Structure 1
Amino acid sequence: MAVANILMVICVVSIWSLLLVNVTLIIAGYLYYMRTERELPPSLPDEPPFVSVMVPAHNEGMVIVQTVEALLAFDYPADRYEIIVINDNSSDNSAELLARVKERNPGRNLIVINTDSVIGGKGKSNALNLGFAQSRGELIAIYDADNTPEKPALRYLVGELMADDKLGAVIGKFRTRNRDASWLTRFINIETLSYQWMAQAGRWKLFRLCTIPGTNFIMRRSIVESIGGWDTKALAEDTEISFRIYLMGYRIKFQPHAVTWEQEPQTLKVWFKQRTRWVKGNIYVIIKNLPLLFQWSARRISFDILYYVSIYFLLVLALVTSDSLLILHALGYVHTSIAGLSTFLWLLAIVLFVVGTFVTVTTEKGELTFSNLWLILLMYISYCQLWMLVAANGLYQYAKDAIFKRETKWYKTERF
């Protein structure tokens, strides 16, 4: 009983510590929302900088035309930005589709790089390095191949970055384009909204830190040159480059007015593979940057390192252990005197999760609905529990690759 009680207390303290951190981030994020809602990003300078917009794409024939057309429609001066699509060793009809788009838009700065299996097909980081080598922009913007950004998105990102020399990058907001396709995409829609106003806006408000989300962001060319490009071993190249920007003394700001719409996985199988890739990538970044916790020069980013360690290691372990103990207690195999208290705290945690998440989604028009409240509750007992399996699988896959020294493989998200 004593051992079970000790384990349960450790789990409860761990879970509630993280829960209170997230509640704090939600409050800070909501305060940031209240302020940004009343003001637009800074205007462009009189002479707008030249921007290279890069789009890595592998077998993206289903979505690439709509994406490029959306990029061509930016209200940024047409002669002050180029679009570089890296058609990375695709076996579908992407090359033909991109050639037609280029023919329909003569005179536009649209560059298509078609790679083969020799120089391409090695993941997003490698594709970005190939595109960067041919880019001319003072600023570099990145969009995924399934994105349809709104017309002012690039203008807002550039205006924000140019207004503050302390900023190394500015990230925008992403919304779920296929939100109503399935229960899964509705869960993902809530997840992305909650994440942006909690982990992004909250961290910016409190610590002046954000993490690049992989799409709809802009950064200074000088940064990419200084760090030698993207780390080709990193599956989560966005998180990895964020830490390197931090270490250079720059900040990364969240600008919610710059919006892009992206397609999310519509089946559980595709979602599980994509999220496992994210977990493996973030574990790589955590381990790579863990020594920074002991360096005074990196003290500003200690919160981010501890936050990721807590989410991917401590929280998963605490949830699995506490749930297992409660089940074993109910079956009579383990006896703990604080099972009742643990159950009460677990129910209270659910209430805080539902209320906190609902508050974050109300920042978007059309999301303040009673159905969303029930959807968040259902999300907790289904979608959130699946995340534990994803985290555990990602950790297992990462450990297996490390032990057997296997090359990390990039899983390309299937489109619909």
Structure 2
Amino acid sequence: MRSLTLTDWLFISTVLAIWVLLFYHVILTFAGYRRFVASFSEEENSPGISLESYPTVSVLVPAHNEEQVIGRTVEALARLEYPKDRIEIIVVNDSSTDGTGNVLAEKQKVYPFLKIVTINPPLGAKGKSNALNQGFLASSGEYIVIYDADNTPERRAVRRLVERIVNDPELGAVVGKFRTRNKNANILTRFVNIETLNFQWTVQAGRCSLFGLTTITGTNFLIRRSILEKIEGWNIKALTEDTELTVRLYDEGYYITWVPDSVTWEQEPEKWRIWIKQRTRWARGNLGVINYYIRNIFKLRNKRIAGDIIYFFFTYGIFFFSILVSDAIFLLGLLGRSNLTLTGPFTIIWFMAYAMFIFESFISVNFESGEGTFLNLLLICLMYFTYCQLWLFVVVKATISAISDRISGTNARWYKTERSGG
């Protein structure tokens, strides 16, 4: 029996790693379907409390150079179906150099209840976490709700979040759903729309159904004031403050759940340049959180969140490495430079993986009314070779940036996504 080469072993390892994650996501997809069915049950849709007993809520919106979108966001927040004497809306104008301040001043004339907190350097311009902390200091609600400056929540979005959490003291935060408002702008926004639906109905709904795990997203989530006071707010060093907050909240002994009937609509990047900057920040922030907590994995008191850290470490580490290695072996093979000696139905294996990707992605988009279209099926087929492969570039870029800053001693800067005026 001939011995296997190093390339053979690398190929076997990468194929196994890729298929492990594929199977796991298929399991999550079916768990997401179970969560989808449960969302129509009477228990999920019935309010937890009567209208008269609603608690006080503070809605925080961090805004840095958001002239293009902040007006529409304020108008959507003003239309929220929530007792007006029980809700305060606070926009944090974080060192904006455009017309954000002027837009807010005009909106305040129309909506006198709008509270504007303006912060300038050196207190301001330190990223979203810092802006949220400043807004939190100016708030008074028993619960804190976060929306990004480009969001237009549906009228009942906050009510649904409150109704889910108020009678469960072990529930520390609840996360609503976000949808792509400008999905028809171009092919990029169509890709992003599919990606966000896949993430929410597979990763969010699936993990919530199987393990009781939900990741806080950067918008449309509610958290108890008492918890923020206990953990001293958001970590200003975290580029992905939502992921980092998720880990700390679970480790404090609380849990988080996903509420799909609380919906907000957000504007996604319409230019590839902006998308790459945004996703590089996300990747770098997530890599930072993973790196910190994987080194302190045994210090985490909550074993479920420790398992989730391992899952994300597998995704950003082992799976990422496996994709790079398998692509390299494939390219070297085309050039006749690979010493892969294994033989087998590798083309069939690849087509099976491709089919599984299409299968799980198309199932997840079908959970949303009107999204299970033939066009989206074609886009999913195309995404595998284009949009998804850019994830490799983004992670490599984020890794190089992190290493460079580590060597030079430079602190990472928080990049705010540029908006379009559409």
1:211 aligns with 2:204: no
Measure, in 1, the Cα distance between the counterparts of 2:89 and 2:188: 32
Does residue 63 (structure 1) correspond to residue 69 (structure 2)? The answer is: yes
Partner of 1:51: 57
Partner of 1:38: 41
Residue pair 1:401, 1:407 contacting (<8 A) in 2 also? yes
Please point out which of 187, 206, 215 is paired with 1:202: 206
| Corresponding residue number in structure 2 for 1:10 | 13
Find the aligned partners of 1:368 and 1:48 in 2 and give their Cα distance. Answer: 37
Partner of 1:395: 399
1:64-100 deviations in Å (ceiling 9; x for gaps):
0100110111001111010110010001111111111
1:342 CA drift (Å):
3.4
Task: Report the secondary structure of 2:61's partner residue.
Answer: strand
In the alignment, structure 1 residue 384 sits paired with structure 2 residue 388: yes
Contact kept? 1:41, 1:160, Cα under 8 Å: no
Q: Distance in 2 between matches of 1:44 and 1:337?
A: 66
Q: Is the 8 A contact 1:42 1:163 kept in 2?
A: no
Report the Cα distance in structure 1 between the residues aligned to 2:395 and 2:338, rounded to whole angstroms.
Answer: 26
The equivalent of 1:156 in structure 2 is: 160
Question: Is 1:41–1:156's contact at 8 Å kept on the other side of the alignment?
Answer: no
For the aligned residues, what is the CA RMSD? 1.3
Q: Identify which of 175, 182, 192 aligns with 1:178.
A: 182
State the distance in 2 between where 1:129 and 1:195 align. Answer: 28
Relative to structure 1, is the Cα distance of residues 339 and 306 closer, same or farther in structure 2, using a 3 angstrom cutoff? farther
Cα distance change, pair 26–378 in 1 and its aligned pair in 2 (3 A): same
How many residues of Structure 1 are paired with residues of Structure 2 in the alignment? 414
Instruction: Tell me the alpha carbon deviations over residues 284-336 of structure 1, each in whole angstroms, 9 at most, x when there is no partner.
Output: 11122114432472312122101110111111110010011011112211132
> Where in structure 1 are there 5+ consecutive unaligned residues?
none
Question: How far apart in 2 are the matches of 1:62 and 1:99?
Answer: 15
Q: In the TM superposition, what are the counterparts of 1:277-288 in structure 2 within 5 Å? A: 277-288=281-292
Deviation at 1:163, TM superposition (A): 2.6
1:97-246 aligned at under 5 Å gives the runs: 97-106=103-112, 108=113, 110-246=114-250
Tell me if structure 2 keeps the 8 A contact 1:73–1:151.
yes
Residues of 2 paired with 1:301 and 1:292: CA distance?
Answer: 12
SS, match of residue 211 in structure 1: coil
Q: Distance in 2 between matches of 1:402 and 1:203?
A: 33
Report which stretch shifted further, 309-318 or 184-193. 309-318
Deviation at 1:339, TM superposition (A): 5.8
- State the distance in 2 between where 1:214 and 1:296 align: 23
User: In 1, Cα distance between the equivalents of 2:46 and 2:76?
Assistant: 21
- Please, which of 82, 87, 90 is the counterpart of residue 76 of structure 1? 82
What TM-score comes out, normalization by structure 2 length? 0.96
- 1:179 partner SS: coil
| Superposition map of 1:246-265 within 5 A | 246-265=250-269
Does residue 20 (structure 1) correspond to residue 26 (structure 2)? The answer is no
SS state of the match for residue 54, structure 1? strand
Q: Is the alpha carbon distance of 1:339 and 1:403 closer, same or farther for their aligned partners in structure 2, counting shifts above 3 Å?
A: farther
Structure 1: which amino acid aligns with 2:88?
Answer: E
Q: Is the 8 A contact 1:293 1:299 kept in 2?
A: no
What displacement does 1:275 show?
A: 0.1
| Separation in structure 2 between the aligned mates of residue 362 and residue 94 of structure 1, nearest angstrom | 38
Deviation at 1:412, TM superposition (A): 1.1
Query: Is 1:92 equivalent to 2:98 in the alignment?
Result: yes
Kept after mapping to 1: 8 A contact 2:90/2:139: yes
Rounded to whole Å, the distance in 2 between the matches of 1:307 and 1:70 is 36
Deviations 1:92-138 (A, max 9, x none): 111111111111123x2x21011112210110000001001111010
2:32 pairs with 29, 33, 52, which one? 29
SS of structure 1 residue aligned to 2:90 = strand
Amino acid aligned to 1:44 = I
CA 198–90 in structure 1, closer or farther in 2 if over 3 Å, else same: same
1:206-259 deviations in Å (ceiling 9; x for gaps): 111110011000000011111111111001000000000000111110000000
Q: Say whether the 8 Å CA contact 2:175–2:217 is kept in structure 1.
A: yes
Q: Report if aligned partners of 1:140, 1:218 keep a CA contact under 8 Å in 2.
A: yes
Within 2, Cα distance between the matches of 1:402 and 1:249?
A: 33
Q: Which amino acid aligns with 1:186?
A: R
The letter of the residue matching 2:133 is N
Q: Is the 8 A contact 2:300 2:306 kept in 1?
A: no
Give the whole-Å Cα distance in 2 for the aligned partners of 1:49 and 1:79: 10
SS of the residue 1:382 aligns to:
coil
- Specify the SS of the correspondent of 1:181: coil
For 2:32 and 2:400, how far apart are their aligned partners in 1?
Answer: 33
SS at match of 2:389: helix
- Structure 1 CA distance for aligned equivalents of residues 225 and 345 of structure 2: 54
Partners of 2:405 and 2:350 lie apart in 1 by 35
Native 8 Å contact 1:56 1:128 kept in 2: yes
| Distance in structure 2 (CA, Å) of the matches to 1:211 and 1:148 | 21
CA distance, structure 2, for counterparts of residue 292 and residue 207 of structure 1: 21
TM superposition score normalised by structure 1 = 0.97
